Each structure stands twice: as structure tokens, then as C-alpha cells.
Amino acid sequence: MEFLRNIWRRKLRSTLTISGIVIGVFALTTMGALAENFNALIDGGVKYFGGSIQVGAPDGQAAPFLPISKIDEIKRVQGVAAAFAGYSIDAKPGGTVVVSFGVPDTIVGADPAENSYSALKLSYASGRFVTSSSRGEVTLGSTIAKEFKKKVGDTINLPVKPAGAKPDFVNHTFNVVGILNETKTAPDSFAYINLTDAQMLLRDSLPATLQIDTSQITEGISVYGNPGTSTSDLDRIADRINEEVPGVKATRPSDLVNAFKAGGQVFTAVAIAAAVLALIVGGLSVINTMLMAVSDRVREIGLKKAVGATTTNIMGEFLIEATLMGLLGGLLGYGLGVLLVVIRNTVFPAADGSTLFLITPNLTILAIGFATVLGAGAGLFPAWRAARLDPVIALRID
């Protein structure tokens, strides 16, 4: 009867230990997937802004616009290979604020030629990009296309008319000519139109009392060097633009890249720290369980040593047991974490269609590998203690 009770206690302790690891790995998987999704967005920003110079209105200027003629002045600066006007308009003005880690839906006015210079290349799931000469065409990012259930050949009214819009609210019907492949970055939430249509939407968004020829202004200018130009060289070009072109502010690419990276590091540290804390608790439970297992199996260990089991044999037995508990807990915790991520991203997507979690191969290796190593590491001391038992003393214990 006592033998059966010992077996039941061992199984109960092992189950509780594995459950602790499961909870820890589940936390690591979900928090890590959150960090991976955020870092994918950060990486896209680093790639784009690390390969271009963003030029805007100087600090203190009342209107956030630049004369479009500044593009020609910037092109004359040494090292500049191309410069493009750009416009950014809220796709859902006055809509309900949605808490999201992604980029809000945005209408982007862009020159189709810019994609050949940008380090962040766009590709198409279907259709094509808008052309510079077309009117009323739009290419949608994957997220915004999913949000509004649009495909090539459909139409969409932009900006989206909010509930309770004022009588003077104006939007226009655009034909969807392309859907972009998912990038896990900002373009997923963009609706790309050409510059002429963007200038029209900008004019619609300005107060009627403000008489501005929007065809002669731009909200920003993206500047590119020759292919292969490093970020440090782009920094120097930005400095030359500030020196030679009055009335503009060129931001050093390295400043934007460092800001993106700093944000990503902080977010990752917070997310992973919470998960690792849960895993440490799981590791302590492994140590406790294995130490109690040693106490329960003193006579068994003594018998094994008496018939020739070596210190290595005893240590190996306990280490394998601890490692298997870590591996099993890791697999179960990771599986539950992935299940939650899939349900959240597919069954209950965000209102704006964006995903919140991202499972990557690196995260998979980290979650399962860390749990396995944790189990093995936590089992070292109990295994050493078991191996050090004196067989004569162990066999005397009743």
C-alpha cells in the first residue's frame, strides 16, 4: 500500500512540475509572439528609414508643408540620386479609436517609381501598383484589404466616411487595382494612390477658408542615394541638404533607425522578462520535485549502486528524467501558446484587421529549447545529490 502511495505522490509531483513549466512556456510563447510581431514592424521601419532621408518642414514652421519645387533643389545636392514627394492622409478620419500595436490605416500618396529605390520592396498578391497617370486607382496593403474585404476589381470609398460625419464630408470612389503581399510592416495598413489623387484628397481635408494650391506643395520628401549608399553616407547627405537647401529639415537616417531600435529593445525586454520570470518558477519546481524524488528513492538508489551502478549512471538517470519533464512541459506550453495565437489572429482578429502575435522559427526554438535546458539545468543538483549517496547508508534506511 505504501509503495502505491509513493508512486501516486511521484506522479502527482511530476504532473504539477510539468504544469509549472507549461505555464511558463505558454507565457514565453505568447509574450514572445507579441514581441516578434512588434519587432517585425520595427524591422520594416529600420529597413525603410535606414535607406532613405526624410525631409520635412523645419521646426517652428506653422504649416507642415513644403513647396514641391524643393525637390529640384534637393536633387542638386551632391550624393542625391532621387527625391520623391509624399502625402499621408488618415484613411478613417473621426473613426473610433482602436488600441493596436500596428500602424493605423493610412492613405499614402506615392510616386510608383519610388519602389525601385526603397530598401523595403513591395510585391503583389494580385494586381499591380497604381500608375502615375491614372486617376481613381488604389493599391491596398494586405491588412486594409482584409479589413474591408476588398479584392482586385472592387471599389472602395476613401477616406472612409465615419458615423455621424458632417454634411460637408467628402470622399471619392477608388478602383482597387492591386493587393500587396503581407510584409508584417507598415505598408500592410496603407492604401496607395498616386500623387495627383493624393493632392485632391489633401485639398478636401483642408478648411475651405484656406486657399492653397495643393499641386504645388508636399507633406514630405523621401530622398535616396545611389544603390549601396550606407546609412552613414546618407547621414552626410542629410547634413548637406540642411546646409544647402533653405526652408527644409532633413533628418539623419541613423537617428530614426536608433529610435526604432531603442523602442524595440524596450518592448522585447518587458515582454520576455515577464515570461522568463514564469519559467524560473517552473525551474524551481523541477528542483523541488527532483530533490523529493531523491528522498523517496534512497533505497532504490542504494540497491542500484550495490549491484554496480556508477555515479554517472545515477546522475544520467535523474538528468534524463528532469530533461524529459522540461521537454514535455515545453512542448505542451508552446502548443497551447500557438493555439491561442492562431485563435486570436484568425477567429478574433482586431477591428482593423491587424495581427497582434507572430510565431517565428526563432521563437519556437527559444520556447522549447529553453524549457528543455531549464529542465536539465534544474535537475543537475538533485542528480548530483543522488549520485553522492553512500550505498551502505542508503540500504539501512527502512
Q: What is the pLDDT confidence band of residue 174, given thresholds at 50, 70 and 90?
A: very high
Query: Comparing 205 with 297, which gets the higher pLDDT?
Result: 205
Q: What is the pLDDT confidence band of residue 320, given thresholds at 50, 70 and 90?
A: confident
**If you average pLDDT over residues 249-254, what whole number do you get?**
95
160-193 per-residue burial string, b: 16 or more CB within 10 A, e: under 16:
beeeeeeeeeeebebebbbbbebbbbbbbbbbbb
Q: How far, in Å, CA of 343 to CA of 359, rounded? A: 13
Question: CA dist 163 to 63, 96, 169, 326, Å?
Answer: 29, 9, 11, 53
In the 8-state DSSP scheme, what is residue 294? H
**In the predicted model, is pLDDT for residue 5 greater than 70?**
no
Instruction: State the distance between the two ends of the chain, measured CA to CA, in whole angstroms.
Output: 15
**If you average pLDDT over residues 120-140, what whole number do you get?**
94
For the chain, the structural domain boundaries read 2-43+260-396, 52-228
Instruction: Please list, in sequence order, all residues whose beta carbon lies within 8 angstroms of the beta carbon of residue 244, skipping any fewer than 6 positions away.
Output: 73, 76, 77
Question: CA dist 226 to 83, 237, 306, Å?
Answer: 11, 11, 77
Write out the three cell numbers for 89. 492622409
- Give SS3 for 112: helix
Q: How far, in Å, CA of 222 to CA of 241, rounded? A: 12
Write out the three cell numbers for 82. 532621387
Question: CA dist 389 to 7, 304, 310, 378, 393, Å?
Answer: 21, 11, 11, 19, 8
Question: CA dist 110 to 130, 220, 251, Å?
Answer: 9, 11, 19
Looking at residue 126, what is its pLDDT?
Answer: 96
Query: Comparing 274 with 83, which gets the higher pLDDT?
Result: 83
**Is residue 72 within 8 Å of 91, Cβ to Cβ?**
no
Percent of the chain with pLDDT over 70: 78
Q: How far, in Å, CA of 28 to CA of 55, rounded? A: 40
Q: Tens digit of pLDDT for each residue in 22-55?
A: 887 888 888 888 888 877 778 877 888 889 999 9
Q: What is the pLDDT confidence band of residue 168, given thresholds at 50, 70 and 90?
A: confident
Q: Tens digit of pLDDT for each residue in 302-315?
A: 666 666 677 777 77
Q: What is the pLDDT confidence band of residue 241, given thresholds at 50, 70 and 90?
A: very high
Residue with cell 546646409: 243
Looking at residue 4, what is its pLDDT?
Answer: 46
Looking at residue 394, what is its pLDDT?
Answer: 47
Of 3-7, 184-188, 203-207, least confident by mean pLDDT is: 3-7
**Is residue 237 within 8 Å of 51, Cβ to Cβ?**
no
